[in-house]
A and B are shown apart, each in its own frame.
Chain A
Amino acid sequence: MSDKTEHTTHSQLFYIAIGVGLLIGTITTVGAAFVNLGPFNPIIALLIASIKAVVVVLFFMHVKGSSEKLTGAVVVSGVFFFAILVSLSLADYLTRSWQ
C-alpha cells in the first residue's frame, strides 16, 4: 500500500504566467471586437474564448498530467454532447425557410 500522491501542480510562477496569458487573451478579445472583420468577428471572439477555456482546463484544472485518464474522456464527452445539442437545434431552426 503506497501512501504517495503524485504532484500534479506546477510552480507558482507558471500559474501566474498562465494568468497573465489569459488576461492578454481578454485584451485581445476586446481589441478584436472593434476591428471590422465581417463574419469573422464572432468566430475570432469564440476562438480566443475557446483557447482560454482549453488553457484553464489543461493547466488550472490539471487535466494535463492527471493520472486519471478517464477525466479527459469526461471533458470530451461534455463538449461532444453540447455540440450535439447546438448542431441538431440549429439544423432545425436554420432550415425553417417556409416560415
Chain B
Amino acid sequence: MHDNEAATVKHEAHNPALLHHFSDTQQQKNAASLGMWLFLVTEIMFFGGMFCAYLIYRLKYFNAFAAGSQQLSITLGAANTAVLIISSVTVVLAVKAAEAGKRKLLVSYLVVTVLLGMTFLTIKGFEYREKFERHHVPGPTFQFTEPFNDNGTIIPLQPDEVPHAQLFFALYFVMTGMHALHMVIGCGLFSVLIVLAWRGHYSPGYYTPIENAGLYWHLVDIIWIYLFPLLYLISRHS
C-alpha cells in the first residue's frame, strides 16, 4: 500500500508522455528520431535501386532518354518542385509551432501542408493525363513516332531507339509513381496528425509524431529534388 502511493506520486511527477524505460524526454525523443532515420535509410536504398537502374540505362541509351525527357513539361515539373519546397517550409514551421505548444498554429500549418501535397498530386495527375493522351505510357499502345520538344522541332530518333524511349517512360512512371505514392501516404499521415493535434494530443514535451512525419515529408521532398533534374532536364540546351 505504501509502495503503491510512492509509485503514484512518482508517476505524477514527470511528463505523462514519458515512457518509463527512458530516463528523460530528451532521450525518448532522440531514440524515436534515430529510429525514424533508420527507416529513412531503408527508403534511400529503396529509391536508390531505381536511381541506379535509371543511371545505367541513361548512360547506355542517352539519345532516347534525352528525347523522352523533352516530352515532359519543365513548367509543371518546376512548379511541383516549388510546391514541395514550400510544403517542407510549412512542415518545419508546424514542428516549431508544436515545440512552442501553439495548437491552432500547428493545425493550420499541417492543413496547409496537406493542401500543398494535394496540389502536387493534382499537377502530377495532369502530367500523367497528358502522357496517356499522347500514348507515352509504356505498353502495347506506346507511340513515339513524331516526338517534339518545347521548340516544336522534331528530334531525330532511329526506329530501333524507340524501345529505349519506352524504357525512359517506364522509369519515369515507376519513379514518379512511387514518389507520388509516398506523397499520398504523407498526406494521409498528416491528416491523422491534424485530428490528433486538434484534440490536443501534443504538448511542448511530446510532439514526436509531428517531428517524425516531418522527417518523412522532407525525405520525400529530397527525392523529388533529385527526380526533377534527372527526369525533366536531360539535354535541354540547343
Q: How many residues of B contact A (CB 8 A)?
A: 58
Closest chain A residue, CB of each to CB of B207: A5
Q: Is the CB of A94 within 8 A of B59?
A: yes
A96 CB to nearest B CB, Å: 10
Residue interface mask B41-52, A partner, CB < 8 A = 1: 100110011011
Q: Is the CB of A67 within 8 A of B45?
A: no
Q: CA–CA, A19 to B82, complex, Å?
A: 9
Interface size bracket, A side = 35 or more
Partner of B99, one of A9, A29, A34: A9
Inside 8 A of B33's CB, which chain A residues have their CB?
66, 68, 71
Residue interface mask A58-99, B partner, CB < 8 A = 1: 011100001110110011011101100110011001100000
A27 CB to nearest B CB, Å: 8
- Chief secondary structure at chain A's binding surface: helix
Given known pairs A1-B24, A41-B235, A74-B38, the reply for A67 and B30 (CB within 8 Å) is: yes
Q: Is the CB of A82 within 8 A of B48?
A: yes
Q: Is the CB of B89 within 8 A of A19?
A: yes
Footprint of A on B, CB under 8 Å?
14-15, 18, 23-26, 29-30, 33-34, 37-38, 40-41, 44-45, 48-49, 51-52, 55-56, 59-60, 74, 78, 81-82, 85-86, 88-89, 91-93, 95-96, 99, 204-205, 214-215, 218-219, 221-222, 225-226, 228-230, 233-238
Footprint of B on A, CB under 8 Å?
1-7, 9-10, 12, 15-16, 18-19, 22-23, 26-27, 29-30, 33-37, 41-42, 45-46, 48-49, 52-53, 56-57, 59-61, 66-68, 70-71, 74-75, 77-79, 81-82, 85-86, 89-90, 93-94
Nearest 8 pairs between A and B by C-beta? A19-B89, A45-B229, A78-B41, A68-B30, A33-B233, A36-B237, A33-B236, A82-B48
